Amino acid sequence: MQIERYKKGIYRFYNIESIGELPSVTTILGMLPKPKIVLWAVLQTIKFLKERGDLSRTSTSLGSVFYKRLLSLLAKEGTNSHELIEAYALRGEDSDHDAVKRYKKFEAQSGFVCEKAEFVVWDAEDYRSAGTGDLFGKCSHIPILWDLKTSKNIYLSHKIQACIYKDMYCKMNGLDPKTVKSGVLLIPRDKKRSWKSYINSEEEEETYRKIFRLLSSLFHTLLEIGDLDLC
């Protein structure tokens, strides 16, 4: 099956053969505020301007470029860690990268055995979106889908994302979602010795599904009335 990924403006989409175009799960969840990430980038930009010692038009323009570059670097660093961990988990491609070392500790302590990594999931009827799952396997014979993150903490959007990916995966593979767990595996880029995991409860998942359906409905409504900048 042919799957194309691309961006329209700041929004990510998947074009899936015989399914059509679907916004990404992360794009829909992007409608939730991320004040801590924004605040960090703003503070770093202020520090940059302070070190330059002036607030001229040139400096403020450079500050805007610096701000966007920071967010881009964060995304690239996270992508790199994902790729290295997934290559090791699925194909045994070892690496000296710190993120891979911590993933190995997670495997040893949790008993997780990876069966799939970097796989596309979608639901064109209920969630009306698509995404890329990070890791699927078993912990003590219990199936679980992990969403891998490299941020400082585990946030609400991460938990929702793991739940929605799990539901999509189960629907596509004929599995009962009640028999499969969803969780977030955090390997923070700024803490070189730690990892953390969080497993969603069934009660939490019910709440997350309601939140995501509302966000998806809002996104598609804005898309239909042409209120999203896709340029």
- 3-224 CATH, one of 3.40.1350.10, 1.10.10.410, 3.40.50.720, 3.40.640.10: 3.40.1350.10
DSSP 24: B
Q: Where are the domains of the chain?
A: 3-224
**pLDDT tens per residue, range 59-80:** 555 555 655 665 555 556 667 7
Strand partners for 6: 13
Question: What share of the chain has pLDDT > 70, as a percent?
Answer: 79
Say if residue 108 is exposed, middle or buried (CB neighbours under 10 Å; 0-12, 13-18, 19+). Answer: exposed
Whole-structure pTM value: 0.82
DSSP helix, strand, coil percent of the chain (3-state; round to 5): 50, 25, 25
Kindly tell me if the per-residue pLDDT of 90 is higher than 90.
no
How is 175-219 classified by DSSP, letter by letter? --GGGSEEEEEE--TT-TT--EEEE--HHHHHHHHHHHHHHHHHH
**pLDDT tens per residue, range 5-52:** 999 988 999 999 999 999 999 999 988 866 454 444 454 555 555 565
Q: Three-class SS of residue 56?
A: coil
**pLDDT tens per residue, range 119-163:** 999 999 999 999 999 999 999 899 999 999 988 889 999 999 999
Whole-number pLDDT of residue 37: 46
